[in-house]
């Protein structure tokens, strides 16, 4: 049997999840009965069901038995809880469904799991066909392969701007540039990250809560890069401590009395090394990962983004482009700082694509 056409369809399904699932792999799957497709699935969003499970569930919904599953990536075999894993292993789900043959594209890039599902399935008497459109399937997962090399959170930069690249008017008005659909999507995203982080100037100026309000979902930890522990006790971030935890990244020179006052209110203040009040953000990022932050959303502002791009700490950008023109040579743009002198120094993403979000365009760019 030539499985190329079926695998090509599974690849198309996998691509539907891109922009939403990273740093997880993008995966698509087909469930077959006697050569007919009876279920289709893809990994839709970080933390959601895996592609194989979705395809099997669709087949079950229409009452079909499944003899073959075609999937772009070796199924997961690690138990729930291992390495932050949120779901039961797909290998077990395939066996429970009585699947007789599994057709694979790429083998798991994680050296801890590579080839393990293939061995487990064969041991259980399931026929495994490997390497179908293997290169295209592996290419789907370049961000996942990058993630395996990082010792810090997968970091997503999100901003909203006008068609002409402004994040506020020349007089500083910025609410709201993007539409209601985009703002709701950001709340959904907050529910799918471990933490949301901003610079202290944004915290002081906008007084945000950074909680999940427009949709159901769990609040992430809120983090502020705040070298002098300047966040007021009256800020909404501090006032909403009962809803979600709050961490400040402060310098070693931050006033101990301010730190003590914030700590007494329940704010976690992490001292970050660095020359004077300048925090070593790379070190802070490693520390966040060690504390369990695997997926981090940064919501600005421009001063912070400049430092993060300069340190190569951004893996993905989500840019909401509203159909508005603000103009003004002095109106702020998403990334401030001194910028670079030569184009060759530009941060260059491996891929970018565009979708719509209500009346806005959403541009997604991903490093790999
Ligand atoms: N449209 C949007 O999507 C959007 C999103 C967010 C924010 N905004 C707007 O952006 C504006 C705020 O942006 P902003 O650039 O002024 O401020 P910001 O990015 O919130 O904070 C930047 C400041 O944080 C400090 N900082 C950053 N990295 C540091 C490090 N490694 N060590 C020590 N300090 C560090 C620096 O403070 P010092 O300068 O004191 O050294 C820096 O100026 C607000 O007007 C807000 O409304 C718009």
| Nearest-angstrom CA–CA distance, 16 and 38 | 19
| Nearest-angstrom CA–CA distance, 162 and 271 | 36
Q: Is 262 in the pocket of ligand 1 (CB under 6 A)?
A: no
8 A C-beta contact, residue 82 and residue 43: no
Judged by DSSP in three states, 252 sits in coil
- At residue 301, the pLDDT reads 92
Catalytic residue among 52, 54, 58, 299: 52
Looking at per-residue pLDDT, the higher value among 1 and 63 belongs to 63
Cis preceding-peptide flag for 292 (omega within 30 of 0)? no
Question: What's the rounded mean pLDDT across residues 216-232?
Answer: 97
Question: What's the rounded mean pLDDT across residues 190-202?
Answer: 97
For residue 343, give both structure tokens. Answer: 């184009």
- At residue 176, the pLDDT reads 93
Q: Does residue 52 have an active-site annotation?
A: yes
* E strand residue ranges, 305-349: 316-322
For residue 89, give both structure tokens. Answer: 């292993």
With pLDDT > 90 as the criterion, what percentage of the chain qualifies? Answer: 92
Helix axes 51-61, 4-15, angle to 10 degrees: 110
- Cα of 367 to ligand 1 centre, how many Å? 23
pLDDT, mean over the chain: 96
pLDDT at 345 over 80: yes
| Nearest-angstrom CA–CA distance, 210 and 221 | 9
- At residue 192, the pLDDT reads 97
- Cα of 225 to ligand 1 centre, how many Å? 9
Q: Is 208 in the pocket of ligand 1 (CB under 6 A)?
A: no
pLDDT band at 87 (very low <50, low <70, confident <90, very high): confident
Mutate to test the pocket of ligand 1, among 199, 287, 311 (most ligand atoms within 8 A of CB): 199
- At residue 61, the pLDDT reads 96
- At residue 79, the pLDDT reads 82
- At residue 353, the pLDDT reads 97
| Nearest-angstrom CA–CA distance, 120 and 27 | 20
Question: What's the rounded mean pLDDT across residues 23-44?
Answer: 97
């Amino acid at each position: 049997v030539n499985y190329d056409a079926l695998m090509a369809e599974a690849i198309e399904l996998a691509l539907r999840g891109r922009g939403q699932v990273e740093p997880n792999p993008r995966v698509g799957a087909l469930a077959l009965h006697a050569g007919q497709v009876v279920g289709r699935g893809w990994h839709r969003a970080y933390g959601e069901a895996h592609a194989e499970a979705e395809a099997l569930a669709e087949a079950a919904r229409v009452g079909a038995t499944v003899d073959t599953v075609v999937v772009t990536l070796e199924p997961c075999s690690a138990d729930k809880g291992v390495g932050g894993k949120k779901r039961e292993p797909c290998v077990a789900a395939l066996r429970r469904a009585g699947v007789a043959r599994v057709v694979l594209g790429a083998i798991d890039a994680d050296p801890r799991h590579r080839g393990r599902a293939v061995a487990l399935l064969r041991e259980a008497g399931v026929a495994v066909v490997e390497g179908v459109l293997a290169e295209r399937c592996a290419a789907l997962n370049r961000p996942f392969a990058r993630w395996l090399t990082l010792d810090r959170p997968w970091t997503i930069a999100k901003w909203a701007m006008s068609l002409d690249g402004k994040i506020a008017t020349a007089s500083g008005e910025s609410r709201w540039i993007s539409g209601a659909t985009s703002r709701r999507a950001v709340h959904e995203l907050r529910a799918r990250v471990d933490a949301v982080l901003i610079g202290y100037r944004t915290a002081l100026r906008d007084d945000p809560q950074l909680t999940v309000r427009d949709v159901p979902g769990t609040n992430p930890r809120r983090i502020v890069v705040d070298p002098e522990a300047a966040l007021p006790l009256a800020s909404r971030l501090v006032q909403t401590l009962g809803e979600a935890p709050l961490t400040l990244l402060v310098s070693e020179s931050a006033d101990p009395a301010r730190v003590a006052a914030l700590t007494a209110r329940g704010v976690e203040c992490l001292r970050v090394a660095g020359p004077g009040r300048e925090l070593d953000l790379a070190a802070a990022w490693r520390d966040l990962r060690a504390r369990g932050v695997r997926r981090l959303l940064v919501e600005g502002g421009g001063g912070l983004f400049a430092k993060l791009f300069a340190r190569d700490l951004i893996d993905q950008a989500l840019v909401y482009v509203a159909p508005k023109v603000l103009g003004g040579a002095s109106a702020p743009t998403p990334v401030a700082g001194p910028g670079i002198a030569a184009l060759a120094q530009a941060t260059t993403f491996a891929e970018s694509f565009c979708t719509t979000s209500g009346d806005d365009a959403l541009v997604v760019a991903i490093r790999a």
